[in-house]
A and B are shown apart, each in its own frame.
Chain A
């Protein structure tokens, strides 16, 4: 069964303390790995799509990387405004666009 698992479930950082979020996947024929940010009371906001192992994408303090088994979201020198739940999702081989989401990592950055 296709599955996406994120760790840790929750992460507390001090402002400026860099860290990484992990997303492990077992999705047959993975066509893409997606990262989303979700703020409380809002819908997920698209961040990145990674399509092949070795690919990296960056946006401000965030960098996403992909291997054949997992993806990492690296957060460099985070700020309190980076506090949110980060979701990753795998796209399987079908043409339906079905995303399989992980349970998310809730990040809290303290000033």
Chain B
């Protein structure tokens, strides 16, 4: 069973389009995250939700909007896609307590043409 899953795995789209990425975790975790990994493999936090409440909102263009319908799901919607949005987007989750060990999904490679 996949612990953290994302769909789609690959996403190729044109500039100006709107797209969504979905994430689901079956670990029973309370906190979920969205990260962006650029071409140099630098991993940067974008958003985090704890029990459907937004707790991390980094300096990200407001074209990016996360939504958490429940604590097992976290989606990322991107409006008016730009070339610079091309990257790999990872979802992660972590459980309660101070450990904050985060478990990552397989990633969604977004290519904007």
Residues of B in contact with A, size category? 20 to 34
Tell which of B59-67, B68-76, B78-86, B94-102 binds the partner. Answer: B94-102
Q: Is the CB of A44 within 8 A of B104?
A: yes
Closest chain B residue to A103, Cβ basis: B42
For A32, A42, A44, A49, the residue with the greatest tally of chain B CB atoms inside 10 Å of its CB is A44
CB of A87 within 8 A of chain B? yes
Query: A98 and B48 in contact (CB under 8 A), knowing A87-B43, A91-B100?
Result: yes
> Closest CB of chain A to B108's CB: distance in Å?
10
Evaluate contact between A46 and B100: CB separation under 8 angstroms: no
Q: Check B104 against A97 for contact (C-beta < 8 Å).
A: no
- Over the window 31-64 of chain A, the binary record of Cβ atoms lying under 8 Å from chain B Cβ atoms (1 yes, 0 no) is 1101010100111111001000000000000000
Interface size on A, residues (CB 8 A): 25
Interface flags for B11-30 (1: CB within 8 Å of A; 0: not) read 00000000000000000000
Across the interface, which residues of B come within 8 angstroms of A34, CB to CB? Answer: 101-102
In contact, B101 and A46 (Cβ under 8 angstroms): yes
CA of A89 to CA of B35, assembled, Å: 13
CA A98 – CA B102 in complex, angstroms?
10
Give me 7 A-to-B residue pairs in the complex whose CB atoms sit less than 8 angstroms apart, sorted by A's number.
A32-B98, A43-B105, A43-B106, A44-B43, A44-B104, A46-B101, A103-B41
Given A43-B105, A96-B56, 6 additional A-B pairs, CB 8 A = A43-B90, A44-B104, A46-B103, A85-B41, A96-B55, A98-B48
- Residues of B at the A interface (CB closer than 8 Å) are 4, 31, 33, 40-45, 48, 50, 55-56, 90, 92, 94, 98-107
